């Protein structure tokens, strides 16, 4: 049997550990809620966004709250995160190419469809593409994507530090 004097001394330590665990769980929940509803760091890897994002992976800041507040304010050229239309358990990063009402050439490269095929983007949908057309599964494969799948936009690349970049939403247009 444990002497009562030992138990009396251990009680504050046990309470302290329990309180520390409770604070840790609270912090974890707050961080998760913040990251899922406001934004935060996100790791992106894969060849589809080369050369903008590296194949080996980079840490980016995902901005979610502005999209949740103003879901129709997507702009051509923006880097966005969205739920994959073919694998809902994955979050992917692509570039917005077309908005509702736009007429889009399905595949200007001719890799996946004839370069003469065009589509009108329906209301509530966007056309997305990876920067590396040869290695990207995007709207050329699954057509226009529902805007309901969009999570947010990529605001900045923060790691690796030597490639720090703030991504603007401005698209560059080429005069005809």
Give the CA distances from residue 114 to residues 106, 130, 142, 158, in Å, rounded to whole numbers and listed in that order: 8, 18, 15, 38
Query: Are the C-beta atoms of residues 84 and 91 closer than 8 Å to each other?
Result: yes
Least confident among 58-62, 67-71, 84-88: 67-71
Query: Are the C-beta atoms of residues 149 and 81 closer than 8 Å to each other?
Result: no
The answer, yes or no, to whether residue 59 has pLDDT greater than 80, is yes
Averaged pLDDT, 48-70: 90
**pLDDT tens sequence across 6-34:** 555 656 677 778 888 888 999 889 888 88
The answer, yes or no, to whether residue 96 has pLDDT greater than 80, is yes
Listed residue (146, 112, 117) closest to 130, CA to CA = 112
Q: Which pTM does this prediction carry?
A: 0.78
Domain ranges of the chain: 1-37, 39-166
**pLDDT tens sequence across 129-146:** 999 988 999 999 999 999
pLDDT for 34: 84
Distance CA 25, CA 22 (A): 5
pLDDT for 8: 59
Tell me the catalytic residues.
48, 94
Averaged pLDDT, 112-116: 77
Confidence of residue 82 (pLDDT cuts 50, 70, 90): very high
Distance CA 31, CA 22 (A): 14
Superfamily designation of domain 39-166: Umud Fragment, subunit A (2.10.109.10)
Q: What is the mean pLDDT of the chain?
A: 86
Burial readout 125-140 (b: 16 or more C-beta within 10 A, e: otherwise): bbbbbbbbbeebbbbb
pLDDT for 176: 42
């Amino acid at each position: 049997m444990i002497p009562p004097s030992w138990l009396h001394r251990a009680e504050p330590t046990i309470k302290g550990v329990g309180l520390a665990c409770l604070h840790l769980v609270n912090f974890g929940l707050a961080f998760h809620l913040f990251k899922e509803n406001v934004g935060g760091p996100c790791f992106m890897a894969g060849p589809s966004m080369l050369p903008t994002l590296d194949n080996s992976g980079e840490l980016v800041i995902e901005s979610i709250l502005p999209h949740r507040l103003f879901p129709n304010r997507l702009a051509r050229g923006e880097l966005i995160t969205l739920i994959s239309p073919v694998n809902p358990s994955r979050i992917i990063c692509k570039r917005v190419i077309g908005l509702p009402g736009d007429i889009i050439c399905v595949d200007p490269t001719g890799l996946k469809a004839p370069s003469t095929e065009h589509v009108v983007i329906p209301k509530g949908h966007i056309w997305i593409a990876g920067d590396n057309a040869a290695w990207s599964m995007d709207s050329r494969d699954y057509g226009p994507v529902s805007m309901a799948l969009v999570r947010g936009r990529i605001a900045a690349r923060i790691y690796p530090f030597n490639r720090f970049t703030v991504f603007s939403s401005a698209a560059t247009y080429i005069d005809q």
